[in-house]
Structures are given as structure tokens and as C-alpha cells.
Amino acid sequence: MIICIDPGHGGEDPGAQTNTPFYYTEKQFNLSLAKKVQTILEDNGHTVYLTRDGDQYISLYDRAQIANSTNADVFVSIHANGSSDPTSEGMEAFHYTGSSSGRSLANLILNSMHDEFRDHIKRGVFSANFAVLRLTLMPAALIECEFITNPHQARFLQDERNQNIMAEAIARGIQIF
Ligand SMILES: [Zn+2]
């Protein structure tokens, strides 16, 4: 399978961020997790492209163009969530409105993640008109791993062991698609 993984945000766009209990940005988390997913999938014989492999700004349009130009079979955009309410928490996933294949992919990944972290809230799978989902030509999903703006969940997201488990879960979801 050819898989395009999209670590959300980057460069001048940090995404969601927190100062509690430490300074941590979504762009850092997204890239760290994406690289782990890439390694696992490559070890399993898949071809993986990242839309960015460093801290650079890539437009949403360019992210979709990268995915389309690689002829990827699957596109997965990795994010952490943000909210003005520091108690917001949970995992969720999105697919493009009307895309049943995207919905299936989003479901598989979210269920796989939640199987590993059953104490987390599964907020659900939702349809959305996000540019990276709309402009990509292959089944596409966007996952929001947890809320970086929740101090407890920021700690969870930053933890290397949790990232490794989450990466395995995401890779498993993609491979059973
Ligand atoms: Zn994001």
C-alpha cells in the first residue's frame, strides 16, 4: 500500500498549544507521531510519504497535492485537538462529507486507537469539509488524538510510550482498511 501521512500544521503555524503543565505545541506532537507511524508502516512493507518531515509550513492545498502526486491509496492527517475549555478531552476522527470509504478509514483508526486507550473518551467519527479531506483523491481521514489544551492530556500526548502505542494503533487501523 502507498500511504500519505500528513502531520498537521508546522512552521509559523503551531496549531493548538499549551503552557500547562509545560509548553507543548500540536505541530511538534503531530510530527513526532507521524514519524512513528511511518516507521511502523515501512517496517511492514508499505511505502509511506509524509507531507512534511520537519518544522515547515505547508499549505492545506499543497498537502493535498503531495498526497495526490504520490498516488497514495490512503491519506491520514494527524492532529491534536484544542479548546478554550481546559477540561475538554477525547479522541475523534473526521472524513469528507459523503465519503463512505473515508468514513470507514476514520472508523477503523479511531476504534483501533480507542482499543488501546479505553479510559479515554471516544467522541466519535464526524463528517467535515476540511480542505485536506476535500482535495485529496483517495480515502482520507483526519484524526484528533486528544486535547493538548487539557493539562492531563498534554502529558498523555507528550509521553513517548503513549505515542508508540498510538502509532501502532493508527498503523493497524490503516492496514486493516
Ligand atoms: Zn490541528
Separation of alpha carbons 124 and 111, rounded Å: 9
115-163 per-position pLDDT tens digit: 999 999 999 999 999 999 999 999 999 999 999 999 999 999 999 999 9
CATH number for region 2-175 = 3.40.630.40
Q: What gap in Å lies between CA 151 and CA 58, rounded to an integer?
A: 28
The overall average pLDDT reported for the chain is: 98
pLDDT given for residue 146 in this prediction: 98
Rounded Cα–Cα distance for residues 37 and 171 (Å) = 6
| Tens-digit pLDDT profile for residues 113-123 | 999 999 999 99
Query: What percent of the chain stands above pLDDT 90?
Result: 100
- Cα(69) to centroid(ligand 1), Å: 23
Vertex 136, ends 30 and 112: CA angle to 5°?
50
The per-residue pLDDT for 97 is: 97
Active site residues: 144
Q: How far apart are CA 84 and CA 110, in angstroms?
A: 23
Provide the pLDDT confidence category of residue 82 given band limits of 50, 70 and 90: very high
The x, y and z cell numbers of residue 130, run together, are 476540511
Averaged pLDDT for residues 13-40: 98
Average pLDDT over residues 171-176: 98
Distance of CA 70 from the midpoint of ligand 1 (Å): 23
The residues, any chain, with a CB within 8 Å of residue 52's CB and separated by 6 or more, are 6, 7, 10, 31, 58
For the chain, what are the domain ranges?
2-175
Question: 81 alpha carbon to ligand 1 midpoint, in Å?
Answer: 6
Alpha carbons 140 and 106: distance in angstroms, whole number: 8
